[in-house]
Structure formats: C-alpha cells, structure tokens
Amino acid sequence: MKTRLNPRIFRVLGLALVLAGLLGSNAKLSAQDQNFWIFLCFGQSNMEGFPGVEEQDKTGVDERFQVLATVDFPKQNRTKGHWYPAVPPLCRPGTGLCPADYFGRTMASNLPPRIKVGVVNVSVAGCKIELFEQASYQSYASNAAPWMKNIIDAYAGNPYQHLVEAAKLAQKEGVIKGILLHQGESNTNGKEWPKKVKAIYDHLLQDLHLKAQESPLLVGELVGADQKGACASMNKIIGDLPKTIPTAHVVSSEGCAGRPDHLHFTPEGYRQLGTRYGLKMLSILGNKTEATP
C-alpha cells in the first residue's frame, strides 16, 4: 500500500523556505550600517597620490572618515580588509596625498554627525583605462613595465576584480554611495575612452548590485592648461563623459596647482581638487553646503 503525502505539507515547507530566505536577507541588510557611506576610488597615479605627505595632512582627520586597506600597510600597521582612520596614504604604502583624502574630509565635515564616510582605493600609476577592462587587463599587464607589474601583482594581478572584492567586503559594513575616478593621462586624446569608462562603470554596477541613479560617477579633470598640463587636451574628452554616462559628473581642475612634471598635482592641488570632489558629491546627494563645487 503506497503512502500518499498531504499536499498541505509541501505548501507549509515551501512557505517556511521562503520565510527563511527573507529572514536571511533581512539579517544581511540589518548588518549594514545605512549611515556608513562608502565611495570607491580608482584610476592611475593622481588617484594613488604622488609620493610624499605633508605634516599638515597627517592630522585633523575626523574619526568618522575611514579607509579600507585593500593591501597590507606594514609601516602604518594596517592589515588588508580592515578599516582604519583615513590618514594618508590611502591607496598603498609609499603613495601620497590624493583627491580621496580631502574628498572624505569635506564629506565628513558637511554631513550630520551620525554619518560616517569610507573610501576604498585601488589605483595603478601610469596605467591606461584598459587595465580595468576584464577583456583587456591580462594582455595589457603582460606588456607592462616591471615597476607597474609590481603594483598590479599587489592587486593579485587583476585591479578591477581586486576593487570588486574589496567593495563587497565594504558592503558588509555600509552602503556604496558613489564612485570616484581620476584617470586619463595614459589615454590622452583617446576617443574610445568614454565608452571604455562606461563599460567599466556598468560592470561595477552589475557586479556590486548597484543602481546608477544611486551610485554617481565623479571624474576629475587632469592637470589643466592653466598649469601647463602635459595632458590637458584630455580634459575636453573627460568633459564630454556625461553624454555617454548620464550619471557621470566632471570635477574641474582649474586653478589646482600642478607639479613641475606637468602631470601630477601639488599637495595643495590635491587638497583643492579633493575638496571639489566632495562638494560635488554633497550637491548630488542633496546636502547643502555654504561652498560651491
């Protein structure tokens, strides 16, 4: 004699599984601090920060401004995957002040005390945007100079994926509110640059389950013509990026002091550019400030 199973049992079991899934999802969401705003940063040497940090930049960092170490920082006693007060350098040991420094300081000083700000910085000096393309990074890296290969190796050979994994780790603590890019010197006058940036941005949104309207992209201009910037002509292409990415916003570098190499900003230039990144993001997010971006 065959035993007939009651269909009601299956319905109850199905409902239990659905509820378990919802509870698990809610538990994950509740673990996130909605008041911890995280911003991803990537690019080449100016987003790394030119080596050297001035004494005035080593103090006065609000404890609400944090950096996720994406590599180990032995001299700074930072371990990969952990959050620390955002005292420069923020990218890797040996890098310097960068736009993310005064971006974060500006954000923290203009947001309510309950809001914390975190940055995740994965940048590679001298690299073309192709290094962050999943279809191109291997061939690009294989032909890179030895010094650049060392940086790439610090990111397990794949800077884009390293950024994604770090971002996923960050998402366990807070919510990603935007993406900062400073790159283009190595792609100067490259007409395909906007399309390549859009593809990388779209992949980040997809891989991290973000919505474009909730994750604006801020892109800074290179050292400008007013500073005799060697790659200033690229700023016209950067300026057109919002035509390709509606949620992209350009941060002006006009008046931001450049170094004698005409490629990198001075510490004061980084402070000014980073502050503009912060004011622009605050404006986009609807937070009023007395200053203008």
Closest CA to 49 of 123, 104, 105: 123
Phi, psi of 68 (to 5 degrees): -90, 120
- Write the CA distances from 147 to 43, 97, 150, 152, integer angstroms: 17, 20, 5, 9
d(C-alpha 6, C-alpha 157), whole Å: 55
Catalytic residue among 142, 261, 262, 283: 261
β-pairing, 83-85 vs 65-68, is antiparallel
**171 contact partners, CB below 8 Å, separation of at least 6:** 32, 38, 208
Beta-carbon count within 10 A of 159 CB: 22
**Residue 38 exposed, middle or buried by CB count within 10 Å (0-12, 13-18, 19+):** buried
117 three-class SS: strand
Q: Which of 45, 123, 215, 253 is catalytic?
A: 45
**In the annotation, is 45 catalytic?**
yes
Is there a catalytic annotation at residue 283?
A: no
Strand partners, 84: 67
Is residue 142 flagged as an active site residue?
A: no
3-state secondary structure of 123: strand
Residues serving a catalytic function are 45, 261, 264
